[in-house]
């Protein structure tokens, strides 16, 4: 009889801990989620037509599924290679915007995969995981992925490339601490080799082949 009581207590305690754990993710009526996700929280609410509860459920599920993910560091060689590839893609943008954006999208997906995120073949899953760990930088990746599908004009593609740069910098940064992180330069102000400017093609308000 005592054994049954002990087992029952253990089961009840486990259930309570599970419920409390889920409650903490949504603690404060979503204040915790809003603080964690920032602009991505507002985007989720908009995607659910203003249904805050549905948006918080989705974001809470993202945290439960991907919150424990450990990002893998890059080797210095891999980091240098990614920077060189990104710089090359940016330089080619002026001649072939659509091709450059498509290549940049694939490059960013591969970089995220190498850092330990889900494979880029499943964009939504990879994006969800990235939004948990880099919420301030994912908007540009979403825009660039849309542009890579051929659904944007040249100016929109340029803006998407510039915005996606912040996620690229966050993922390619030296781990665990990048000495450049304390710099006053913004990701958009640095070129693919870490220098203090972005390629002129991406800084121009209009580029060859502008449409829409």
What is the tens place of the pLDDT at every residue in 58-94? 999 999 999 999 999 999 999 999 999 999 999 999 9
Which helix (H) or strand (E) segment holds residue 100: the answer is helix 97-114
What is the tens place of the pLDDT at every residue in 128-173? 999 999 999 999 999 999 999 887 899 999 999 999 999 999 999 8
Q: Tokens 């459920």 appear where?
A: 57
| Rounded distance between C-alpha atoms, residue 168 and residue 138, angstroms | 10
| Rounded distance between C-alpha atoms, residue 135 and residue 140, angstroms | 11
| Rounded distance between C-alpha atoms, residue 67 and residue 175, angstroms | 19
Q: How far apart are the first and last CA of the chain?
A: 76
Of the ranges 1-5, 76-80, 196-200, the best mean pLDDT one: 76-80
Kindly report whether the global pTM for this prediction surpasses the value 0.75. no
151 contacts: CB under 8 Å, gap ≥ 6: none
Percentages helix, strand, coil for the chain (3-state, rounded to 5) are 70, 0, 30
pLDDT band at 174 (very low <50, low <70, confident <90, very high): confident
6 contacts: CB under 8 Å, gap ≥ 6: none
């Amino acid at each position: 009889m005592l054994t049954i009581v002990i087992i029952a207590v253990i089961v009840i305690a486990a259930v309570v801990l599970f419920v409390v754990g889920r409650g903490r993710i949504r603690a404060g009526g979503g204040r915790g989620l809003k603080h964690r996700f920032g602009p991505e929280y507002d985007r989720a609410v908009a995607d659910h037509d203003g249904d805050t509860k549905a948006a918080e459920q989705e974001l809470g599920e993202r945290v439960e599924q991907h919150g424990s993910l450990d990002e893998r560091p890059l080797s210095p060689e891999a980091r240098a290679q990614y920077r060189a590839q990104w710089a090359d893609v940016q330089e080619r943008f002026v001649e072939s915007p659509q091709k450059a954006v498509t290549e940049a999208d694939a490059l960013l997906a591969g970089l995220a995969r190498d850092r330990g995120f889900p494979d880029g073949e499943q964009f939504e899953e990879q994006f969800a995981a990235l939004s948990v760990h880099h919420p301030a930088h994912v908007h540009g990746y979403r825009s660039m992925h849309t542009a890579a599908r051929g659904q944007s004009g040249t100016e929109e593609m340029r803006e998407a490339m510039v915005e996606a740069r912040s996620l690229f910098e966050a993922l390619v940064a030296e781990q665990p601490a990048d000495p450049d992180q304390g710099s006053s330069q913004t990701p958009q102000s640095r070129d693919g080799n870490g220098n203090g400017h972005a390629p002129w093609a991406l800084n121009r308000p209009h580029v060859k082949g502008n449409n829409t």
